[in-house]
């Protein structure tokens, strides 16, 4: 926990520039929420506000709670959203497992690329209590199997071994059945064609755009980064056009009476 706090304190100011933001899951949410008015939502693990901004821009009439355990991230999210003239939100410094939100008050809760930092069953249980009947819980993440097929999983030494916090689908059905008043409504897979240069990949690594990189010691990270560079040079013919496919999944739960 201490290393994660330090990591997010260090990257808060640059996080929105380091990370890629996917629009497709927001479009998916918009379709699910279509026809609902005066929406009250919460983005848990909001980070510096990338996906909160898209939700506020795309989902009409939304009032959004932006919550994160990290104070630097919450501060950055508030600044970021206001820079885009967004006012229909509040920010909260809050643990994902200890909701400071009234019960039965929200139409949806979302979490983007954050659940590997949570105690998942407890997070889902508390989220469901906070939702109105038939409310949605949207969890956007990368599965362990998807991580193994990413450019980092394939070419960055020990990335898979160190990143052991991700879930796989075999776990989801089990712990969702243990939680009262929730049903798994949909599993939607997303596929993204990415392209960049080797130097831009190195910049992302050095900026620690994934918290996984904070699980290395400084010495181990620099050794692995040098090996990553060699692996990319060996496996891609043009280091100025590095192409790969990222995969993610959206798990959609509903609160049932």
Domain annotation for the chain: domains and CATH numbers: 2-144+163-194+247-255 (3.40.50.150)
Q: How would you write the pLDDT of the chain (257 residues) with one tens digit per residue? A: 556 778 777 777 777 777 889 999 999 999 999 988 899 999 999 999 999 999 999 999 999 999 999 999 999 999 999 999 999 999 999 999 888 899 999 999 999 999 998 888 889 889 999 999 999 999 999 999 999 999 999 999 999 999 999 988 888 877 777 777 888 999 999 999 999 999 999 999 999 989 999 999 999 999 999 999 999 999 999 999 999 999 999 999 999 87
SS3 assignment for the chain: CHHHHHHHHHHCCCHHHHCCCCCHHHHHHHHHCCCCCCCEEEEECCCCCHHHHHHHHHCCCCEEEEEECCHHHHHHHHHHHHHCCCCCEEEEECCCCCCCCCCCCEEEEEEECCHHHCCHHHHHHHHHHHEEEEEEEEEEECCHHHHHCCHHHHHCCCHHHHCCCCCCHHHHHHHHHCCCCEEEEEEEEEEEEEEECHHHHHHHHHCCCCHHHHHCCHHHHHHHHHHHHHHHHHHCCCCCCEEEEEEEEEEEEEECC
């Amino acid at each position: 926990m201490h290393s994660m706090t330090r990591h997010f304190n260090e990257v808060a100011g640059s996080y929105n520039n380091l990370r890629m933001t996917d629009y497709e899951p927001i479009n998916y949410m918009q379709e699910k929420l279509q026809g609902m008015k005066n929406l009250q939502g919460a983005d848990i693990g909001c980070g510096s506000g990338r996906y909160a901004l898209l939700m506020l821009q795309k989902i009409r009439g939304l009032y959004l709670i932006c919550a994160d355990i990290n104070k630097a991230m919450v501060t950055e999210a508030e600044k970021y959203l206001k820079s885009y003239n967004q006012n229909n939100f509040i920010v909260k410094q809050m643990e994902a497992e200890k909701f400071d939100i009234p019960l039965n008050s929200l139409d949806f809760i979302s979490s983007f690329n954050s659940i590997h930092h949570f105690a998942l069953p407890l997070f889902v249980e508390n989220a469901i209590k906070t939702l109105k009947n038939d409310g949605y819980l949207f969890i956007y993440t990368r599965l362990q199997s998807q991580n193994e097929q990413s450019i980092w999983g394939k070419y960055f030494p020990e990335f898979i071994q160190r990143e052991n916090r991700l879930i796989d689908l075999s776990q989801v059905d089990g712990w969702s059945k243990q939680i009262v008043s929730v049903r798994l409504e949909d599993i939607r897979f997303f596929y993204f064609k990415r392209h960049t240069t080797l130097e831009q990949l190195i910049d992302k690594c050095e900026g620690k755009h994934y918290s996984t990189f904070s699980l290395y010691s400084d010495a181990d990270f620099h050794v692995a980064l040098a090996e990553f560079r060699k692996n990319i040079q060996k496996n891609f013919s043009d280091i100025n056009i590095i192409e790969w496919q990222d995969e993610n999944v959206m798990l959609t739960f509903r609160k049932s009476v």
